[in-house]
Amino acid sequence: MTLPLPLPVVPQPSLPIAGSADRFPIRRIYCVGRNYVDHIREMKEGDERDPPFFFQKPSDAIVEDGGVVAYPADTEDFQFEIELVVALGAGGRDLTKAQALDAVFGYAVGLDLTRRDQQRDMRAKMLPWERGKAFDASAPCGAIVPVSAIGHPAKGSITLDVDGAPRQSGDIAHMIWNVPEIIANLSASYALAPGDLIMTGTPAGVGPVRPGETMHGRVEGVGTITITVAPCEA
Ligand code: MN
């Protein structure tokens, strides 16, 4: 059998821009691993002064604020990670730390949803992390708040509650690699471009979320995100 042409047009993933009718078209989603000392310690991995490392999620894994995500297949340990998200409005290679912030369009609050059992299994086998990190609906992200509205937040609380119970708490000032350092480091490996999102790592307190529970995350000075895991089907 031959499928008829033309094939369906693939939708361009995008996010709302706070205070605007325009949307932010998403090109790539980069994520920083291990960027808060207290989270490295709870995961019992790595040297706290290792250079930053990066992985990616597919851009169609985005879920907007207020969304419902299905409990994913292939895991018995579905976990939340609250993160500050950087949204690039410009790009380039080999950006210096001094140039880096000029590429930032805005910021958002995101969740690096993780199949922790798969991540640990892949790590133990020295295999890529995709099964643990880069699955469907693994990248919820709130509206992009422009730099023109909030500047470049460098400190402020970052928290996540599950059904009202506090689970994660930190301060973005405690990131091991700050936003200019992350962008400079990433741009040494990849040509960055408008539409790129960077999830900047999570503080301590990560843990499992179950069907029917609601995650509410907040980054002071940026915004909030609320995502519910769909109840089990009866
Ligand atoms: Mn993360």
Query: 5 CA to middle of ligand 1, Å?
Result: 39
pLDDT recorded at residue 42: 81
The phi and psi torsions of 175 (rounded to 5 degrees) equal -60, 135
Q: Which superfamily is assigned to 14-232 in CATH?
A: Fumarylacetoacetase-like, C-terminal domain (3.90.850.10)
pLDDT on residue 233: 66
Provide CB contacts within 8 A for 16, sequence distance 6+.
Answer: 23, 24, 64, 143, 144
The C-alpha atoms of residue 126 and residue 133 are separated, in whole angstroms, by 15
Say what the pLDDT of residue 50 is: 78
For the chain, give percent helix, strand, coil, nearest 5.
20, 35, 45
CA of 83 relative to ligand 1 center, distance in Å? 7
In the reported structure, the alpha carbon of residue 113 is separated from the centroid of ligand 1 by a whole-number distance in angstroms of 8
**Which residue ranges make up each domain of the chain?**
14-232
Check residue 8 and give its pLDDT: 94
Q: How confident is the chain (234 residues) per 10-residue block, as mean pLDDT?
A: 93 98 98 88 73 94 98 97 98 97 98 97 94 98 98 98 98 96 97 98 97 98 98 74
Ligand 1 centroid – CA 133 distance (Å): 9
pLDDT at position 234, please?
53
Task: List the shell of residues around ion ligand 1, using CB closer than 5 Å.
Answer: 81, 112, 202
**Distance of alpha carbon 158 from alpha carbon 209, whole angstroms:** 18
Distance 200 CA to ligand 1 centre (A): 7
